[in-house]
Amino acid sequence: MMDINNSVLLKKMAHSVMNRKSKYMEKWCYEFGLILKSIEAVWYETKDEVYFHYIKEHMDRFIDIDGNISGYDIYELNLDHINPGKVLLFLYQHTHEERYINAASLLCKQLILQPRNLQGGFWHKRIYPHQMWLDGVYMSSPFYAQYALMMNTPKAFDDIANQVILINEHTRDPKTGLLYHAWDESKGMKWADDVTGCSPHFWGRAMGWYSMALADTLDFFPSHHKNRNNIVAILRDLAQAIISIQDTKTGVWYQVLDKGNQAGNYLESSASCMFTYTLAKGIRLGYLDDKYIPYVKKAFDGIVEQFIEFTPDDFVDLKNVCSVAGLGGNPYRNGSFAYYINEPVATNDYKGYGPLMLATAEIIKLFNKN
């Protein structure tokens, strides 16, 4: 698939992260959780303790002896702040230090307090009333499912399934199978469609977050649960929609997924890495048919060719990461095509670099299996 061995490439990526400073390592945020989760994947692949120590050292800056989380405000009721909880559960499993499960329990308390719409779906944040965003499913559901499994609270899986299924029902476009970025149950936001409540476009990374959420939540979902097969079916539908808009020339995906021919749109790396991860993991675990293997090969080759560069000091750079995109707020984000294509584009932003490492680790596992 490429000149450099993928395992060597993965370690070079990890080395690059661990030897560069980032603003995301200085605060409790979802990017912090995402990059530590990707280093966790490198540790599982290599079993080199340097990666475990890196994860623990950086998490320990935030967690005190009692499990309090520095810089975390539960009453912000922001689903983004749940995402690092997955790393707390990882550390608890491997160290049995009570502070990690105490901190995870604090995050679970937030989910109990989280405002919900009339159908039980979590608001994305307290400041975004009645709104479900695709991003929020990734931020909360895999952690929620793992915590429920570890703490033996099986009823929680009914709630988790509802979060996953509800947003798919409301954001899925029946013509393309693609998902709109967000849904406002109240239809009160200026960006919300008067009939559906959905935002106007299919943003790549939003669908990428949701696709990864499906693959990761299923890791912990009970095999006998009434809704497990429904979640697998959503993943299969999503995979078909994803490959239908994969760029045939490069193998990667556009920032606004279905507007590849529209001026100003660009090939975007974070969504491309997320889709590659989801497809590879789905194939490996048997959720997706082997017919997807050529698509995932083409995608990973495309990522390497389109987005990766090596620096003179042998660090790995990832280009073309959309820095940020959202809806509403101040200044107001209207969710238009022009909005998405004009947000800043960065190199090595963790929202792309984390999924790059996760995708590379999954590619290694998939093709070792096959």
Partnered with residue 179 across adjacent β-strands are 172
**Where are the extended beta strands (E) located within 89-245?**
131-133, 182-184
Q: Tell me: cis bond preceding 331? Omega within 30 of 0 counts.
A: yes
**Where are the extended beta strands (E) located within 274-360?**
308-310, 316-318, 321-322, 345-346
The one-character DSSP state at 220 is T
Strands 131-133, 321-322: pairing is unpaired
Measured CA to CA, the distance from residue 62 to residue 42 in angstroms comes to 22
Measured CA to CA, the distance from residue 98 to residue 51 in angstroms comes to 21
CB 179 within 8 A of CB 134: yes
Its sign, for the CA torsion 266, 196, 190, 112, is: negative
Buried b (16+ CB within 10 A) or exposed e, 162-201: bbbbbbbebbbeeeeebbbbbbbbeeebebbeeeebbbbb
Partnered with residue 183 across adjacent β-strands are 132, 198
Locus of tokens 């998490």:
59
Q: Which of 80, 135, 159, 349 is an active site residue?
A: 135
**Where are the extended beta strands (E) located within 2-159?**
131-133
CA atoms within 13 A on the CB side of 168: 24
CB 69 within 8 A of CB 121: no
CA dihedral 352, 200, 299, 249 (to 10 degrees): -130
Tokens of 353: 């670099």
Q: Is 135 a catalytic residue?
A: yes
Tell me which residues are annotated as active site. Answer: 135
